[in-house]
């Protein structure tokens, strides 16, 4: 028995060492620019005691991976943090990013708190399920910023675009393009997802001003390219005389592919999205139908690295100019849209995609100087 015990213990020890060794090494792994000299964040807590100007640790909590948006977001966060690390202002980011549920994200946040981070950037997977946990973080003196998704927790700042305005931009374009008349269909994202709800509200508001536009049907493409394509194919079959369609995000690529595949005599007018793959597809569509037109409004992941800059400035003790803030609880940094591409500036959009992968979302990260507009000078 004692021999067995010894085996188990030594196995435990071995695994422990292995995992321990794994940590710092793994951060140097692929794709991302490495940070060879930075010590692991866990090794220098206790810096929160006295007011300091540097050595801040920022934690990231992201509950959804395997989307281009999130991948670009994480990569950009790491990149922007390198800047601050080089200036010794921050240490290595503590990133909690995995597909998880509400309980899992609560655990992510708790683990960040347990690692004594000074600020948390959270992309919340639930509109209110994290509230109590975020309050605990605030109570510990941690600066909490919600990126991409607005939260209504006193003390939590939000950084993002106005999702409603984002959707209104392209809905307005579609309504004008159709001259305020015609039959259209809507393909929405996840029903019930806050961003989708805000967007569809925006679309309804715009369409309310155009009584001549008739919404024949609404279906969900679940923010998925393939589903969007399938839904659009069904719509094209059901409504051969469709005048237009409104959709959002990756589903726009699927929808346009469906139109190109069906190639009806009269192409419906459709909205697109600010992704290089779509702009390339747009160029291709023009070769099939020179009259084709679209609009691509970027929902850019750059809001998160901009949020990181805001967090760093707040950590350095700069005072937020609350008069520049907006949103539901007046604690939102509402960022301008990164790019609106129409047929007039399609070339510019394509130029932005030069050298970028297909999945790249047109983006804009505010510079350190640009971020100063939110702070009292």
**What do you get for the CA distance between the two ends of the chain, in Å?**
70
Q: Which runs of consecutive H residues, i.e. helices, occur in 87-224?
A: 102-114, 131-139, 163-177, 194-208
Q: Minimum distance between the CB of residue 340 and another protein, rounded to whole angstroms?
A: 28
Q: Minimum distance between the CB of residue 287 and another protein, rounded to whole angstroms?
A: 37
By beta-carbon proximity to another protein, the closer residue of 5 and 208 is: 5
Residues in contact with another protein by CB under 8 A are 1, 3-4, 8, 11-12, 15-16, 19-20, 22-24, 26-27, 29-32, 40-42, 65, 74, 92, 94-104, 106-108, 110-111, 114-115, 126-132, 191-192, 194, 197
- For 11, counting Cβ atoms within 10 Å of its Cβ (0-12 exposed, 13-18 middle, 19+ buried), the class is exposed
- For 351, counting Cβ atoms within 10 Å of its Cβ (0-12 exposed, 13-18 middle, 19+ buried), the class is exposed
Q: Minimum distance between the CB of residue 285 and another protein, rounded to whole angstroms?
A: 33
By beta-carbon proximity to another protein, the closer residue of 8 and 215 is: 8
Measured in degrees and rounded to the nearest 5, phi and psi for residue 213 equal: -90, 130
186: its two tokens: 């809507």
Q: Minimum distance between the CB of residue 195 and another protein, rounded to whole angstroms?
A: 11
By beta-carbon proximity to another protein, the closer residue of 63 and 268 is: 63
Q: In terms of DSSP bridges, do strands 340-341 and 296-297 run parallel, antiparallel, or are they unpaired?
A: antiparallel
DSSP 272: -
Q: Minimum distance between the CB of residue 30 and another protein, rounded to whole angstroms?
A: 7
Q: Residue 143 in contact with residue 116, Cβ under 8 Å?
A: no
- For 138, counting Cβ atoms within 10 Å of its Cβ (0-12 exposed, 13-18 middle, 19+ buried), the class is middle
59: its two tokens: 């934690």
Q: Minimum distance between the CB of residue 149 and another protein, rounded to whole angstroms?
A: 11
By beta-carbon proximity to another protein, the closer residue of 6 and 238 is: 6
Instruction: Please report, to the nearest 10 degrees, the dihedral formed by the alpha carbons of residues 110, 124, 67, 221 taken in order.
Output: 140
21: its two tokens: 């060794």
Q: Minimum distance between the CB of residue 194 and another protein, rounded to whole angstroms?
A: 7
By beta-carbon proximity to another protein, the closer residue of 112 and 207 is: 112
By beta-carbon proximity to another protein, the closer residue of 10 and 343 is: 10
By beta-carbon proximity to another protein, the closer residue of 16 and 373 is: 16
Compute CA distances 33 → 4, 58, 76, 285, whole Å.
44, 18, 11, 37
């Amino acid at each position: 028995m004692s021999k067995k015990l010894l085996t188990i213990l030594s196995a435990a020890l071995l695994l422990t060492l292995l995992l321990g060794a794994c940590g710092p090494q793994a951060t140097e792994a692929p794709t991302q620019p490495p940070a060879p000299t930075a010590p692991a964040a866990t090794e220098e807590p206790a810096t929160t005691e006295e007011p300091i100007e540097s050595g801040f640790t920022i934690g990231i909590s992201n509950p959804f991976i395997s989307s281009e948006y999130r991948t670009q977001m994480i990569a950009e966060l790491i990149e922007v943090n390198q800047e601050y690390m080089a200036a010794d202002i921050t240490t290595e980011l503590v990133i909690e990013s995995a597909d998880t549920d509400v309980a899992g994200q609560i655990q992510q946040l708790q683990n960040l708190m347990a690692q004594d981070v000074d600020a948390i950037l959270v992309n919340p997977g639930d509109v209110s399920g994290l509230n109590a946990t975020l309050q605990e973080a605030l109570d510990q003196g941690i600066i909490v910023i919600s990126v991409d998704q607005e939260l209504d927790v006193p003390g939590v700042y939000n950084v993002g675009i106005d999702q409603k305005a984002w959707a209104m931009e392209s809905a307005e374009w579609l309504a004008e393009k159709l001259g305020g008349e015609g039959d259209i269909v809507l393909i929405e994202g996840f029903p019930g997802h806050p961003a989708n709800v805000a967007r569809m509200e925006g679309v309804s508001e715009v369409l309310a001003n155009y009584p001549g536009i008739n919404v024949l049907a609404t279906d969900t493409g679940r923010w998925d390219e393939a589903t969007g394509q399938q839904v659009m194919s069904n719509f094209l079959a059901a409504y051969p005389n469709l005048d237009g369609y409104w959709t959002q995000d990756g589903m726009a690529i699927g929808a346009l592919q469906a139109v190109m595949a069906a190639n009806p005599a009269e192409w419906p007018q459709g909205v697109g999205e600010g992704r290089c793959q779509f702009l390339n597809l747009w160029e291709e569509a023009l070769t099939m139908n020179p009259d084709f037109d679209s609009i691509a409004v970027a929902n850019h992941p750059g809001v998160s690295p901009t949020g990181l800059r805001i967090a760093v400035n707040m950590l350095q003790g700069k005072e937020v100019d609350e008069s520049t803030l907006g949103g539901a609880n007046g604690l939102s940094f509402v960022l301008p849209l990164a790019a609106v591409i129409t047929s007039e500036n399609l070339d510019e959009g394509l130029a932005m995609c030069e050298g970028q992968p297909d999945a790249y979302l047109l983006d804009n990260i505010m510079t350190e100087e640009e971020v100063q507009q939110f702070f009292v000078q």
